[in-house]
A and B are shown apart, each in its own frame.
Chain A
Amino acid sequence: AQSVTQPDARVTVSEGASLQLRCKYSYSGTPYLFWYVQYQRQGLQLLLKYYSGDPVVQGVNGFEAEFSKSDSSFHLRKASVHWSDSAVYFCAASMMGSSGSWQLIFGSGTQLTVMP
Chain B
Amino acid sequence: GPKVLQIPSHQIIDMGQMVTLNCDPVSNHLYFYWYKQILGQQMEFLVNFYNGKVMEKSKLFKDQFSVERPDGSYFTLKIQPTALEDSAVYFCASSQGLGYAEQFFGPGTRLTVL
Chain A contact residues, CB within 8 Å of chain B: 32, 34, 36, 41-46, 49, 51, 90, 92, 94, 96-97, 99, 101-109
Contact = CB atoms under 8 A, between A and B. Distances in A.
Nearest to B99: A102
A90 B43 contact: yes
Contacts of A104: 33, 45, 103
A105 B58 CA distance: 11
A42 B107 contact: yes
Given A94-B100, A97-B56, A105 B4 contact: no
Give the interface residue-count category, chain B: 20 to 34
Given A46-B102, A51-B100, A97-B56, A108 B41 contact: yes
B105 interface: yes
Contact of B43 (A41, A44, A94, A96): A44
Contacts of A97: 56
Given A32-B99, A94-B99, A43 B44 contact: no
Q: Which of A36, A41, A43, A101 has the largest count of B CB atoms less than 10 A from its CB? A: A43
Nearest to A90: B43
B108 A43 contact: yes
A33 to B, nearest CB: 10
